[in-house]
Amino acid sequence: MNEKELFELYSRDVYRTCYYMLHHAQDAEDVCHDVFITVFRQDWRKVEYMKTWLMKITVNHCLNFLKRERTTKQREKKQFMLTPQRTAEPVDTIVEHVEEMERWQQWVQELPEKIRAAMLLRYMNELSLAEIAEILDIPVGTVKSRIYKGLRLLRKRWEKTGKHHQKGEMYNEAYGKSVISSSEK
């Protein structure tokens, strides 16, 4: 039996199981495909009870999917509950936030590649230090030091621009120099 025959023989059963566990056709289809990708990466030709083995993998994939969904929904709910509900912000405040966000994104992009990778995995993907170490194939201590160094570099950049703003000066990042604001002329 080849992979195509295996898929054709069991795909309906796998999909049906996914659909009844997830109650959503698109999610069931996605998980069904993930199941077969997992199976094809294994040494499936040596499995004695194929359908039983496939159903076990299917159920585990569905349970993992539901757990991820539940965690995501809880995180979104928590974020919503912790976020103060405000009326529409003034346009100048929104512009300031956007500019600040763009500045932070630029600073992160300017970090050395190894440090940036550790920082993004930690803070954007919310992975544990052990998971990051496994992904980057480095010791956990190295992950910690890269994250610490990245935070230190970002803090220095922030303090550098923050001090200029506090003095009533505008810091021109493109040229790395201060420009006196119009109020001080």
**CA-angle at 137, arms to 133 and 142, nearest 5°:** 50
List pLDDT tens digits, range 115-159. 888 888 888 778 899 988 988 899 999 999 999 999 999 899 888
Q: Is the pLDDT of residue 165 over 80?
A: no
Please count the helices (runs of H) and the strands (runs of E) in the chain.
7, 2
Dihedral in degrees, nearest 10, Cα atoms 11, 12, 17, 20? 140
What is the per-residue pLDDT for 171?
Answer: 44
Enumerate the β-bridge partners of residue 180: 169
Is the whole model's pTM more than 0.85, yes or no?
no
**pLDDT over 70 percentage in the chain:** 85
